Structure 1
Amino acid sequence: MNKILTLYDIEFKRVKKAYFSILGLLILSNIVLIINMLHNVAEEIGKILNVKGTISLLRHSEAYNIIESGTRVFDTYSITYLIMNLAIIWCLYYAFYIWYRDFYGKTKSIYTLFMLPYNRFNIYLSKLITTISLIYGVIITQYLLWIIQMFIIKGFTQISASSFIDIINYNSLNTSLLLDVSIYPVEFIIAYLLTPIILVILIFTAIMIHKSLNRFGGILGIAYVIITGLIFGYTYSYDFMYSDEKLIFLLGFYSIVTLVSITISYILINKKMHI
């Protein structure tokens, strides 16, 4: 375990500047958006009351009505949700980069790692932990920002936390966005706790296949990801009677995919991979 954590520390030090820049942009965008939303609400109240729109107007009863209508809250939430997902996509891109940087970089550091006297799979695990921790860091940061934003708005308008959740979930049902932006416990567990792990494992397995099989490795790696994605899409879209049935079914599917992918990766990185 200590060897894996040592490799994790090395990997994280290599990406921390870029990663903290991403988190900084995420935080900055949230600050700008919440200020803009509050400013717009104040301006709208000013027009209603025929006075200058100042921050003090946010304590007026009209502010509660405007916030409760949901449009401005949901618009702000949707944009921050999109920004969070872009940050997660960057982390998934890093899942590719974290390997190919070593394979094709001038330093060829992967040679050194592969020559160390311990199981090669430790390299896989350290990179996996690094990438997943980056994704979870983005998710945790964004959810903390949403909670802070909620308390800021509540401080002005006294609107309850449950009202915020109801606004988001109700508007999600009536939006044409391709992204599922609703807040439900089961969807949260699937989308933000389980799916990132599976995505990274799939990407890593595809890379192991690519680097282990000379001629058709790339095609087989892509095919593996696509086939798994199609099966997931079918199971996720299936109309379960109860949400817990959906969670249990997907847990079973994720467990199978994880076991198969980890087994393939373990065999390939220790027995077949060439650099």
Structure 2
Amino acid sequence: MNRFVKLLNFELSRFMKIYLVLMIVTFIVQITGMIVTANSYMAEANKMIYEEGMSQAQFIEQYGAMSFLGFARGLWFTGPIAVCAAALLFYIFMIWYRDWFGKNTFIYRLLMLPTARLNVYLAKAISIVLMVLGFVSVQLIFLPLENSVLKWLVPVDFRADMTVGQIVKWDYLSMLVPQTFTEFILYYGAGFMAVSVLFTAILFERSFKWKGILLGSVYAALSVVIMISPLLAMNFMDQYYLYPLETLGLEVVLGLLVTVMSLWMGNYLLTKKITV
């Protein structure tokens, strides 16, 4: 266990500088976006009211009161989140390939450590999950700060206030910040499953080179087919015999099956097909 923790800490520390930069950039862009958006809204309000003679009620009726939700739908808010998501998606591949393509093929040093090779696999996978949770946690800290900037720049008569609890229930944020423990397990369990499938597909490529690309693609496609098999059955059958809750239970079982299969196959490839 101690060796696994050291491996996990090592994997996290390797990405930490870029990770911190992404967080800082996210905060700067979102705060800047809030300032620009709020000032633009108030400039339009002043123009329409003081220059065009529109009443405050007419302006709000036509343009709507400014709310955090309107800002959260814009590129200023979603853009940095998308960049962070893309960076982590890229890092899912980079976390393996940099060890092979570095100056000293560092992967062989990792695999020669006196610990189970599965620990190397798990340390990389769990580091990805922890970084996702870190991004979400920091975003939750940013939200009340950005909400305060909105209240500071826009008078109360021109805005529709929202609490942080109301904000995180909206659209994709409700997936990043699950409302119940069950949703948390389902969403982030599905994320861990996806990471394990991609990791195993990468190890297929590393084990069998060009043939491995095909094998990895087939494995990933098979995993997707397994997960959507209840939906496929629903389309092909005239009558679907499972209730929604039973379908959810079946999806959970299939997800666990795919995850365990990915971990087993990844461990097999690391121990039997990749030699040092």
TM bin (shorter chain)? 0.7 to 0.9
TM-superposed CA distance for 1:62, in Å, is 8.6
Q: Which residue of structure 2 aligns with residue 132 of structure 1?
A: 129
Q: Which residue of structure 1 aligns with residue 22 of structure 2?
A: 22
Distance 1:116 1:249 in 2: 39
TM-superposed CA distance for 1:145, in Å, is 2.2
Q: Which residue of structure 1 aligns with residue 261 of structure 2?
A: 260
Q: Which residue of structure 1 aligns with residue 42 of structure 2?
A: 42
TM-superposed CA distance for 1:144, in Å, is 2.9
Residues 167 and 123 (structure 1), Cα distance of their counterparts in 2 relative to 1, 3 Å cut? closer
Distance 1:162 1:11 in 2: 32
Q: Which residue of structure 2 aligns with residue 203 of structure 1?
A: 198
Q: State yes or no: 1:114 paired with 2:111.
A: yes
Contact 1:236 1:246 in 2 (8 A): no
Which amino acid counterpart does residue 23 of structure 1 have in structure 2?
M
Contact 2:88 2:128 in 1 (8 A): yes
Distance 1:140 1:236 in 2: 33
| Residue range with higher mean Cα deviation, 143-152 or 156-165 | 156-165
TM-superposed CA distance for 1:6, in Å, is 0.7
Q: State yes or no: 1:144 paired with 2:141.
A: yes
TM-score w.r.t. the length of structure 1 is: 0.75
Q: Which residue of structure 2 aligns with residue 55 of structure 1?
A: none
TM-superposed CA distance for 1:117, in Å, is 1.9
TM-score w.r.t. the length of structure 2 is: 0.75
Which of 120, 123, 129 pairs up with 1:123?
120
Q: Which residue of structure 2 aligns with residue 270 of structure 1?
A: 271
Q: Which residue of structure 2 aligns with residue 213 of structure 1?
A: 208
Q: Which residue of structure 2 aligns with residue 84 of structure 1?
A: 81
| Residue range with higher mean Cα deviation, 96-105 or 238-247 | 238-247
Contact 2:69 2:167 in 1 (8 A): no
Residues 111 and 74 (structure 1), Cα distance of their counterparts in 2 relative to 1, 3 Å cut? same
Distance 2:129 2:168 in 1: 30
Q: Secondary structure at the match of 1:50?
A: helix
Distance 1:150 1:235 in 2: 42
Residues 4 and 84 (structure 1), Cα distance of their counterparts in 2 relative to 1, 3 Å cut? same
Q: Deviations over 1:254-275 (max 9, x none)?
A: 2121111111112221222236
Q: Secondary structure at the match of 1:116?
A: coil
Q: State yes or no: 1:6 paired with 2:6.
A: yes
Distance 1:154 1:242 in 2: 46
Percent of matched pairs sharing the same residue: 23
Distance 1:132 1:116 in 2: 23
Q: Which residue of structure 1 aligns with residue 220 of structure 2?
A: 225
Distance 2:243 2:87 in 1: 34
Q: Secondary structure at the match of 1:106?
A: coil
TM-superposed CA distance for 1:244, in Å, is 6.0
Distance 2:164 2:231 in 1: 27
Which amino acid counterpart does residue 25 of structure 2 have in structure 1?
L
Q: Deviations over 1:178-219 (max 9, x none)?
A: xx5766748974885234322211111112222223552121
TM-superposed CA distance for 1:152, in Å, is 4.2
| Residue range with higher mean Cα deviation, 78-87 or 260-269 | 78-87
Gaps of 5+ in 2: none
Residues 73 and 265 (structure 1), Cα distance of their counterparts in 2 relative to 1, 3 Å cut? same
Which amino acid counterpart does residue 222 of structure 1 have in structure 2?
S
Residues 27 and 226 (structure 1), Cα distance of their counterparts in 2 relative to 1, 3 Å cut? farther
| Residue range with higher mean Cα deviation, 133-142 or 150-159 | 150-159
Distance 2:26 2:105 in 1: 33
Distance 1:168 1:268 in 2: 41
TM-superposed CA distance for 1:113, in Å, is 1.6
Gaps of 5+ in 1: 52-59, 170-179
Distance 1:256 1:36 in 2: 48
Contact 1:205 1:264 in 2 (8 A): yes
Computing the radius of gyration over CA atoms, which structure comes out larger, 1 or 2?
2
The root-mean-square deviation of aligned C-alpha atoms, in Å, is 3.8
Residues 202 and 63 (structure 1), Cα distance of their counterparts in 2 relative to 1, 3 Å cut? farther
